[in-house]
Amino acid sequence: MRQTRKLHIKSYGCQMNVYDSHRMADTLAPQGFVETQDAAEADLVILNTCHIREKAADKVYSELGRVRVLKEEAAQQGRKMVIAVAGCVAQAEGAEILRRVSDVDLVVGPQSYHRLPALLDGVAQGKKVVDTEFPPEDKFDRLAQPSGAAIRKRGVTAFVTVQEGCDKFCTFCVVPYTRGAEVSRPAAKVIADVERLAQAGVREITLLGQNVNAYHGDGADGRPWTLARLLYRLAEVPGIARLRYTTSHPLDMADSLMEAHRDLSALMPQLHLPVQSGSDRILSAMNRRHTAAEYLTAIERMRTAQPDMAFTSDFIVGFPGETEADFIETLRLVDEVGFCGAYSFKYSTRPGTPGADLDGQIPEALKAERLARLQALVQSHQDRFNAGFFGRSFEVLFEREGRNPGQIAGKSPHLQPVQVIGPSHLIGEVRRVTVEEVGIRSLFGTLHGEPVPAHAAPMLVAAEA
């Protein structure tokens, strides 16, 4: 073991970045790096960045301004602090980051961070290092595995990337450029990762991919597996009580996935299915390659398979050319589906994407006005959805101590935060809860008596004829 050094990682953007940050820490642990929450005492600071909207990318530079000061203070104390920029801004801007902020030592993209130990050796030799390659080797084969202690520290829920990159090229989006082409990991490797996590006490797995439902990794039988097939297999892993997956694309809603929701009690009845707009004209300009009606059909098919299904979505307002009439179609679609939540964003022009060159860019004030209207409507649906849980009972996976002493907190099947009075030894357990109060951010309930056993095998509910 080498000398102990301190590592501070800050993650921006999506859940895949959170996952990547963990894997960076795993890969640096054998090099003697121990994580710290305090950037000031770190020997290595990694900003794992997001390029999706202008604001997200700008945040990196303001944060680098703060980290530079810490680096200078460290130098005054005779300590060398290494600053690394990882993630999607690193991929998009590469060496430009070094030109803008000379205190940055290392720039590493989302497909090459398995090389961090070697890249840091370069930095130790006094070099400025940039690696934004899309290397032929599979980074997942080269990343170090987390220790049992590291897994337990991260809690009873975990992410596992199963598919990465995107070939869909929506005209607003940088992801195909920052993450590269769509690649699915082999099923056997995903299963091994999930087994390792489960053995260390993880109870809920969220499978990640930019288009996770397009998953088509090699199966053990040499043929590609669908996401559904993978989910059936993962539901058999002892200790795994819950499965989720995100983010799905409306074009890849296979019947097999609906059947998995019908059959697998471990597969939670909640789906994040971004639609972006309710206007066919705008959907076409966005290159989403489906209509609003086709989206609604996908929702209906899912609801037929699993009536308890709840949906969340992503929206972009103010895409170039969006008229009031287009926007009203988006509001109409929100009313029609009745989402239990949604993220909505003002369109942000991204350099290098086709959307940046379109006519009809919308003024900021109009985007802000539409965003406020959309968010108010989504909120009203969300409030109604949550209010409907008053007096209802369901299973909660407890994840952590609650906000107040004596409370424990977890999530409902529909991903709602739930708080109850209960003992902390229930963290990591699934228990039935009855809701007694619907708060703004959480449901408050009381615990039922008996523990719900982990599903050692998928519990099949009667298949519909």
Report d(CA 54, CA 61) in Å as an integer: 11
393-401 vs 430-438, strand pairing mode: antiparallel
Residue 169 as a binder of ligand SF4 (CB under 6 A): the answer is: yes
Question: Do residues 236 and 263 make contact, with C-beta atoms less than 8 angstroms apart?
Answer: no
**139 or 431: whose CB is closer to ligand F3S?**
139
* Nearby residues of 414 by Cβ (< 8 Å), 6 or more positions away: 268, 269, 270, 310, 340
At its nearest, how many Å lie between ligand SF4 and the CB of residue 246?
11
Q: Which residue has the tokens 């988006």?
A: 330
Question: Do residues 202 and 156 make contact, with C-beta atoms less than 8 angstroms apart?
Answer: yes
Per partner kind, with CB cut-offs from 5 to 8 A, the member of ligand SAH, ligand F3S, ligand SF4, none near residue 169 is ligand SF4
| CA 260 and chain centroid, separation | 21
Strands of 204-309 (E only): list them. Answer: 204-208, 242-246, 270-272
Residue 175 as a binder of ligand F3S (CB under 6 A): the answer is: yes
At its nearest, how many Å lie between ligand F3S and the CB of residue 285?
21
Q: How far is CA 99 from CA 47, 86, 105, 455, in A?
A: 17, 16, 11, 53
Contact with ligand SAH (CB under 6 A): which of 111, 163, 247, 270?
247
Which ranges of 77-179 does DSSP label H, i.e. alpha helix? Answer: 87-93, 96-100, 116-124, 139-142, 148-154, 175-178
Report d(CA 183, CA 207) in Å as an integer: 14
Residue 210 as a binder of ligand SF4 (CB under 6 A): the answer is: yes
Per partner kind, with CB cut-offs from 5 to 8 A, the member of ligand SF4, ligand SAH, ligand F3S, none near residue 50 is ligand F3S
Residue 17 as a binder of ligand F3S (CB under 6 A): the answer is: yes
Q: Return the range that interacts with ligand F3S (CB under 6 A); candidates 8-16, 294-302, 343-351, 380-388.
A: 8-16
**343 or 390: whose CB is closer to ligand F3S?**
343
Residue 211 as a binder of ligand SF4 (CB under 6 A): the answer is: yes
Tokens of 127: 């070099």
Contact with ligand SAH (CB under 6 A): which of 311, 345, 385, 394?
345
Contact with ligand SAH (CB under 6 A): which of 12, 19, 113, 172?
172
Report d(CA 347, CA 374) in Å as an integer: 13
**111 or 211: whose CB is closer to ligand SAH?**
211
# binding residues, ligand SF4 (CB under 6 A) = 10
Report d(CA 450, CA 114) in Å as an integer: 44
* Nearby residues of 444 by Cβ (< 8 Å), 6 or more positions away: 418, 419, 420, 435, 436, 437, 438
Per partner kind, with CB cut-offs from 5 to 8 A, the member of ligand F3S, ligand SAH, ligand SF4, none near residue 87 is ligand F3S
Report d(CA 384, CA 372) in Å as an integer: 18
Which residues between 32 and 91 bind ligand SAH (CB under 6 A)? 52-53
Task: Using alpha carbons, select from 376, 379, 255, 276 the residue that is nearest to residue 326.
Answer: 276
Contact with ligand SF4 (CB under 6 A): which of 249, 261, 262, 411?
249
**14 or 257: whose CB is closer to ligand F3S?**
14
Residue 206 as a binder of ligand SAH (CB under 6 A): the answer is: no
At its nearest, how many Å lie between ligand F3S and the CB of residue 403?
28
At its nearest, how many Å lie between ligand SF4 and the CB of residue 139?
19
**109 or 422: whose CB is closer to ligand F3S?**
109
**Sheet (strand 33-35) strand order:** 33-35, 5-11, 44-49, 82-86, 106-108, 129-131
# binding residues, ligand F3S (CB under 6 A) = 13
Residues that bind ligand SAH (CB under 6 A): 52-53, 172-173, 175, 210-211, 247, 249, 274, 276, 314, 316, 345, 347-348, 350
Give the footprint of ligand SF4 on this chain (CB under 6 A). 166, 168-170, 173, 175-176, 210-211, 249
